[in-house]
Amino acid sequence: MIPTIEWKNGRARIIDQTKLPGRLVYLDCRDVKTMWYAIKRLQVRGAPAIGIAASMGVVLGIKDSKAKNFAAFKKELGSAIKYIGSARPTAVNLFWALERMREVALDNSKKPVSQIKALLLKEALKVMNEDKVICREMARRGAALIKNGDTVLTHCNAGALATADYGTALGVLGKRIKVYADETRPLLQGARLTAWELMQHKIDVTLICDNMAATLMAQGKIDKVIVGADRIALNGDTANKIGTYNLAVLADYHKIPFYVVAPLSSFDLALKSGKEIPIEERSREEVTELYGTAIAPKGVKVYNPAFDVTPNKLITAIVNEKGIFRQPFDKTLKRLYR
Q: What are 248-297's pLDDT values in tens digits?
A: 999 999 999 999 999 999 999 999 999 999 999 999 999 999 989 999 99
Reported as half-sphere exposure (CB side, CA atoms, 13 A), residue 319 has a value of: 26
What is the pLDDT, as a whole number, of residue 178? Answer: 96
pLDDT band per the 50, 70, 90 thresholds, residue 337: low
Is there a single domain that holds both residue 212 and residue 329? Answer: yes
The structural domain count of the chain equals 2
* 66 and 167 assigned to the same domain: no
Residue from 65, 14, 8 nearest 35 by CA: 14
pTM for the model stands at 0.94
Q: Are residues 78 and 163 in the same domain?
A: no
My answer on whether 150 and 129 are in the same domain is: no
Mean pLDDT of 190-199: 95
The pLDDT, as a whole number, for residue 172 is 75
Q: Average model confidence (pLDDT) for the chain?
A: 95
Same domain, 186 and 309: yes
Give the mean model confidence (pLDDT) for residues 43-52: 96
Beta-sheet pairing, 231-233 with 267-268: parallel
Domain end position, chosen among 81, 109, 137: 137
Active site residue 28: no
Q: Is residue 131 located within the same domain as residue 111?
A: yes
Question: Phi and psi at residue 150, in whole multiples of 5°?
Answer: -65, 150
Q: Are residues 288 and 309 in the same domain?
A: yes
Last residue of a domain, one of 101, 119, 137: 137
CATH number at residue 154: 3.40.50.10470
Question: At a CB cut-off of 8 Å and minimum separation 6, what does 31 contact?
Answer: 60, 61
User: DSSP letters along 155-183, please?
Assistant: -S--BGGGSSSSBSTGGG--SS-EEEEE-
- Same domain as 150, residue 125: no
Last residue in a domain, options 137, 169, 200: 137
The Cα–Cα gap between 79 and 25 comes to 30
Count other C-beta atoms under 10 Å from residue 203's C-beta: 19
Residue 95 CA to residue 51 CA, distance in Å, equals 7
Q: Give pLDDT, residue 175.
A: 64
Residue 222 has pLDDT above 70, yes or no: yes
Quick one: pLDDT band at residue 338, thresholds 50, 70, 90? low
pLDDT digits (tens, 9 = 90+) for 225-244: 999 999 999 999 999 999 99
Same domain, 235 and 274: yes
Q: In which domain, by residue range, is 224 found?
A: 142-337
Q: Are residues 130 and 156 in the same domain?
A: no
Provide the 10 A C-beta neighbour count for residue 160: 25
Residues 128 and 151 reside in one and the same domain: no
- Percent of all residues in the chain with a pLDDT value above 70, rounded to a whole number: 98
Domain of 49, CATH number, reads: 1.20.120.420
* 146 and 122 within one domain: no
Reply yes or no on whether the pLDDT at 103 is more than 80: yes
pLDDT reading at 100 higher than 80: yes
* pLDDT tens digits, 139-192: 889 889 999 999 999 999 988 888 887 767 677 776 689 999 999 999 999 999
Residue 131: other Cβ atoms inside 10 A: 25
Name the active-site residue from 131, 165, 182, 230: 230
Q: Which of 18, 40, 125 is nearest to 91 (CA)?
A: 40
